[in-house]
Structure 1
Amino acid sequence: MLEIYGKQSSYCDGVSRRSFLRVGGFTFGSMASLPLVDILRAEAAAPKKQSHKSVIHIYLAGGPPHQDTFDLKPDGPAEYRGEMKPIGTNVPGIQICEVFPQMAKMMDRFTLIRSVAGCVDQHDAYQCMSGWKRADLAVAGGYPAVGSVVTRVKGPVMTAMPAAVGLAAPATERRWSDPGDPG
């Protein structure tokens, strides 16, 4: 429905040729009114194209254990190894669970962290996300969010976009996830 000052169609499934040409003519006319020199000057003043790299950190509380997904122990004792079998990936020496065949084909695009160790013997989200004990996060002001730390170390990528966005689920503790949260 591109009608401008004309009869509007009651259907949304098509655009008439006349309506398309009318709107296209308005668009071309407005573009033609801009001097070419101004357009070229704006392009020259625009910052050079940069290659951007970002970190997307997804924290999913719960889920299957690491020994059944990404850190299988097929040669370990029966009480440590799971029911799943490992499959090879496109990265030599890395095996993951047989239920991830598509991920195995793209393993060169992922990073596995298999060396997480806690400061206390607990499976605690606080530890995993911050490196601190739960009691240590109670200090005035708290500790910075993961995205804030990455931004501080790597610097902002673009001024027009936020450097970090916290996406922790409301059911989880957000003090270590969301930038600007006082902790």
Structure 2
Amino acid sequence: MNWNRRDFLKGTSAAAIAAMAAGIPISKVFGSITGNNPKSTADSVILLWMAGGMPHTDTFDPKKYTPFSKGMQSNSVLSTFKSIPTALDGINFSEGLESIAGIMDKGTLIRSYVAADMGHILHSRHQYHWHTCYQPPQSVSAPHIGSWIAKELGPLNP
């Protein structure tokens, strides 16, 4: 049987609840689910969560190098860093990440995540989505403090 994440969570949560109700140790219940899966070899997972950090085009997914020059149009810039090879054939990182590039044969790079369109202004909405797999709850936005002040004082630039 091929398990997807949803089926796995349904099965394990149902098994855990049943086991707790019956007084069976959880480890015995989960042992049967993982019976025919290969033994994992990883001891840990390192997630580089760079909230507000570097963009992917300047780190792990470099685009064509475009040297910066004064007065250039922003839409003509693809990447201001040169591309360097990694320990994996066909995978390049941006210069400055040589240490990570040297050990990429021991890691995994996820480039397939596509965020739901929740607006481009509030990064916290995307972070909430990434951490929980749920879109943040929608609510009526409260007026900003500047709006309240402008309403009370009236227009200052008539």
Report the TM-score when normalising by structure 1. Answer: 0.40
Report the TM-score when normalising by structure 2. Answer: 0.46
Structure (1 or 2) with the larger CA radius of gyration: 1
Structure with bigger helix share is: 2
